[in-house]
Chain A
Amino acid sequence: MIEAAAQLAVNAVALGAVYALVALGFVLVIGAVGAVNFAHGELVMLGGMVGVGATMLLPADLPVPGLLVLPAVLAVMAAVGLAVAGIAYAPLRRAPPTAVFIATIAVGLIIQHGVTVGIGPEPRRGPPLVDSGVLDLAGVGLAHQQLATIATAAALIFAVHFLLQHTRFGRRLRAAAQDPEMARAVGIPVRLTIAVSFALAAALAGAAGLLLSNQYLVTPTDGGALMLKAYIATVIGGWGRIWGAALGAFAIAVFETLVAATASYLVAEALLYLGVLAVLAVRPQGLFGETTGRRA
């Protein structure tokens, strides 16, 4: 009983940490350009696929394969993020708000089906971060993968927090997100901060994909549900609030894990969507209220 509960708890926390990573990237872009990146889920999936591919290039019995591959995933996905910014955002800077939304829907389509056509629709298993071992803690077996996932996600989240709160560039990024025109007027290179926001968001998404790929496998069609959860988390946490979105995502993961364990994953999903519709009908500004000005 205790063992099952402990494992459930660890699962929930691990999933929560990863979902928080996903939501973090999602809301960074919203803050930076006020637009929803509909392709964000596909970026998570792509990160997982990059992880799978990178592992194939490594010798078979390397220790900590996932951790070794992580920097490559971050770098590749950052480049992809810049590409998405260039294709789907930059040409539409002056267009009406929903144009970026639609453009990112298109990009998501391209990524999802490009991957399907390119390497096939089957689910693939990504590398374990450390190994497939199990830690015995007072009689309870905790998978290394889960623990490493929590640690890695926490490290990345902490790194983002450090960047935003304790570096000059992070402060400038926040200023540009809050008032781009005023930021320019104090000399902040807003185009650069926007590009970096996209790159950072994609890198975080890719890392999340890598973290998910070992336990949950990665399938080309994964993107939609992940993006939807990040979207929901952002609304729950208050549109534009970075840590509100992360908290919201964590809550969704915990909810999902618990309900799936007691009833079924199906019930969890259905309740989630019903809950969101209720929230939108009653208090659309979320738990903590909105911050940024709006674009679609």
Chain B
Amino acid sequence: MIGPDRRNLVYLAAAAVGLGGVVALGDTYALRVATLVGIYAIAAIGYQLVFGRLGLLSLAQGALFGIGAYASALLTLSLGLPAPLGLVAAVLVPAAVGAAVALPIARLDSHYVALATLGLAQLALLAATNLELTGGANGLYGVPPLAVGPVEIAGGWPMLVLVWALVGLCLLVSRAVLAGGRAARFATLRDAPHAALTLGLNPVPARLALFAVAGALGGLAGGLQVHGIGVVSPSVTGFEVMVTILAIAVVGGRGSAPGAVAGAALLIPLPEVLRFLEGSYLVAYGVLLLAAIVLMPRGLDGWLRDRFPRRPPAVPAVPAAASAPPRRRGKALAVDGLRKRFGGVTALDGVSFAVPAGTVAGLIGANGSGKTTVLNLISGLETPDAGQIRLGGVPLADRPAHHRTELGLGRGFQHPEFPEGLFVLEAAAVAARDRSGAVAALDRVGLAERAGEPVAALGAAELRRLDLARALATEPGALILDEPAAGLTSEERAALAALLRRLADQGLAVLVVDHGMDFLLPLADRIVCLDAGRVLAAGTPDEVRRNPAVVAAYLGEGATA
């Protein structure tokens, strides 16, 4: 983003008002509440990375908060280390725990992630309540306050300023984690996982990093809390903390760091404002959380985004070299003896064919003939039971999907998915080397003038082309496309065919799956016809069209009627 979005100005204005309010009130209680808001904001900013950006319902953030609190308390109390070092431990220990948890858990489905993180949180609670080390059910007290040199920061204005300075720091950290196009990449991993894999995005480092940062920030918040009030008890790892953070994240707007601050500012003072409800502020939290998720599921930040949409990104000029054929070499695609069974059904029974660089090959066949399975095997979304796949002579067999992109394989999908809220340029740049590479790719598909528009403004045919552009931005040597012409008008189909022809002329090997000869006849150099998992015929379009076996397959099975 270039220049402040108006949304951020709204946040800044709200912060100024909040600050003014605290100054005006001035009493110790107001300061303590404001400090607590800051502490929970920090925990929630971290949580947004896992909850919003990864899209995972982790229920361990409260436990990480508590682990940070205990880590710092133990270090300063038992080992007598100075408080700032305790804070460092409060950051590092939960970060390590978060990263350790991420590996086995993050690949699971949502309902398993929730359970696993819940189990972890329960274990943390049990440990805190029952170990002698942690002081058991009573916890630890006498935790020294933070100090900078001889100056103690125990409460009041100094603590407030420290905490909110750290809030600012965490906002910057969050922004840095998401900068450099990473936000769009995380969103693609979350919302379009198959596309992400075929674009070469690897989910594992993303999960590790975001879980670690979430743990770090959650722990930092816990550490600040424990030094601020001087005691730590098992309740800091309890579900109440988790629910508060969750409510803040949802009300603030899932995935938004400034939203987390706003959410905290709204929810934490609630027990005060609702003093007449006495102990039932948690009921109020429940009602607010329910109302938020039902009525305003995108939260405060979502509401602001509707009113103040993001500014379009600056679009670099189309590089001059883009109009000349790119330097990269096309890579031939060859499959040999592919076999695949799903349960009792044989999807592919020995399929072999080749697509030389600089040519377009069409793959046709009836429903259930195995076309999509071939594509999934080539792109690595499935593994063959037997057979080999070669790209530019290099065997692809054991390589995971995201490696194949590096080798030069690109894929287009029949129903391409794009994460919400991106601009065309950002969507195309997800896997590109840099923005000008993305613009060049957009230019090749004829979308360069629309680079600054939101993806939502594109029609179906243009979305297909955008999908192609984001694959082309990885500079592939071979491209496989799944029914790219489905649902398009005849003019759009002709434009698409011309585009694919151009790409092949520029050196790529292009494999197109389609169900009709009308699109492929004028376009393809070769056609392969599949029937019941086997290659029925292969040759020039004319040869295949006239092949009696193909005609029979289309018109019906042989002579027996």
Contact = CB atoms under 8 A, between A and B. Distances in A.
Interface string A81-122: 000000110011001011101110111111011101100000
A109 B289 contact: yes
B108 A277 contact: no
B466 to A, nearest CB: 23
A294 B294 contact: no
B374 to A, nearest CB: 26
A105 B289 CA distance: 9
B130 A102 contact: no
Interface stretch (A126-134, A205-213, A231-239): A231-239
Contact of A296 (B114, B247, B282): B114
Contact of B122 (A36, A98, A269): A269
Contacts of A98: 57, 110
A136 B279 CA distance: 47
B123 A274 contact: yes
Interface centre among A235, A276, A281 (most CB of B within 10 A): A276
A273 B289 contact: no
A284 interface: yes
A270 interface: yes
A5 interface: no
Contact of A95 (B108, B282, B297): B297
A280 interface: yes
A146 B81 CA distance: 54
Given A97-B110, A99-B297, A228 B289 contact: no
B111 interface: yes
B126 A296 contact: no
A106 B290 contact: yes
A92 B110 CA distance: 17
A284 B107 CA distance: 11
B461 interface: no
Nearest to B119: A273
A272 to B, nearest CB: 8
Contacts of A295: 110-111
Given A228-B118, A231-B118, A113 B283 contact: yes
Contact of A277 (B119, B239, B243): B119
A107 B286 contact: yes
B293 A232 contact: no
Contacts of B247: 106
A113 B279 CA distance: 8
A108 B283 CA distance: 9
**Range of interface residues on chain A?**
35 or more
Nearest to B290: A106
Interface in B97-155: 104-105, 108-112, 114-116, 118-120, 122-123, 126, 130
A266 interface: yes
B285 A109 contact: yes
B278 A117 contact: yes
Interface centre among A224, A232, A273 (most CB of B within 10 A): A273
B25 interface: no
The B interface, classified by DSSP as helix, strand, loop or mixed, is helix
A110 B108 CA distance: 29
Nearest to A103: B293
B250 interface: yes
Interface in A6-61: 36
A91 to B, nearest CB: 5
Contacts of A284: 108-109, 112
Contacts of B116: 276-277, 280
B104 A280 contact: yes
Contact of A281 (B104, B114, B123, B280): B104
A102 B246 contact: yes
Contacts of B243: 105, 109
A52 B290 CA distance: 28
Interface string B303-337: 00000000000000000000000000000000000
B287 interface: yes
Contact of B239 (A36, A224, A231, A274): A224
A270 B282 contact: no
Nearest to A280: B116
A102 B114 CA distance: 11
Given A102-B250, A269-B126, A273-B119, A110 B112 contact: no
Interface of B: 57, 104-105, 108-112, 114-116, 118-120, 122-123, 126, 130, 239, 243, 246-247, 250, 277-280, 282-283, 285-287, 289-290, 293-294, 297
Given A87-B290, A101-B57, A280-B119, 19 more contacts: A91-B294, A99-B293, A102-B57, A103-B293, A103-B294, A106-B289, A106-B293, A109-B285, A114-B283, A116-B279, A116-B280, A235-B112, A266-B126, A276-B119, A277-B123, A280-B105, A280-B108, A294-B109, A294-B110
Q: Name the 8 nearest CB pairs between A and B, nearest first.
A: A109-B286, A110-B286, A106-B290, A106-B289, A296-B110, A113-B282, A117-B280, A281-B104
